Amino acid sequence: MRKKERRGYEGETGVSMRKEFDPTSWTPKTELGKFVKERKMKSVEEILSSGNRIMESEIVDMLVSNLSSDFLEIGQSKGKFGGGKSSIWKQTQKKTAEGNKPKFQTAIVVGNQEGLIGLGNGKAKETVPAREKALRNAKLNIMKIKRGCGSWDCHCGTMHSIPFSVMGKCGSIRITLMPAPKGSGLVVNDSCQKILKLAGVKDVYARTEGTTASKLNVVYACFDALKQLSEVKINPEEEKVLGVKENGKEK
Question: What is the 3-class SS of 4-32, one letter each residue?
Answer: CCCCCCCCCCCCEECCCCCHHHCCCCCHH
Buried b (16+ CB within 10 A) or exposed e, 92-115: eeeeeeeeeeeebbbbbbbbbbbb
| Distance from C-alpha of 134 to C-alpha of 76, rounded to nearest angstrom | 18
What pLDDT, on a 0 to 100 scale, did the predictor assign at position 3?
A: 38
How far apart, in whole angstroms, are the C-alpha atoms of residue 147 and residue 248?
7
* Residue 6 clears pLDDT 60, i.e. is over it: no
Q: Looking at per-residue confidence, does 163 or 241 come out higher?
A: 163
Compute CA 42 distance to the chain's CA centroid, rounded to the nearest angstrom: 22
Indicate the CATH number for domain 19-66: 3.30.160.20
Predicted TM-score (pTM) of this structure: 0.86
Give the tens place of pLDDT for each residue, 77-133: 776 655 678 889 998 888 888 888 899 999 999 999 999 999 999 999 999 999 999
Q: Give residue 111's pLDDT.
A: 95
> In the predicted model, what is the mean pLDDT of the chain?
86
Q: What does DSSP say about strands 75-76 and 204-209: parallel, antiparallel, or unpaired? A: unpaired
pLDDT tier at 142, thresholds 50, 70, 90: very high
Fold equal for 72-143 and 145-248:
no
Rounded mean pLDDT, 15-31:
78
Alpha-carbon span 229 to 150, nearest angstrom: 12
Looking at the chain, the whole-number percentage of residues with pLDDT higher than 70 is 88
Contact 137, 169 (CB under 8 A): no
Domain range list for the chain: 19-66, 72-143, 145-248
> By C-alpha distance, which of 106, 118, 67, 73 is closest to 227?
118
What topology is assigned to 72-143 in CATH? Double Stranded RNA Binding Domain (3.30.160)
**Is CATH 1.10.10.10 the classification given to domain 145-248?**
no
- Residue 181 has a pLDDT of 92
Element (H or E) spanning 195, and its range? Answer: helix 190-199
Integer Rg of the chain from CA = 19
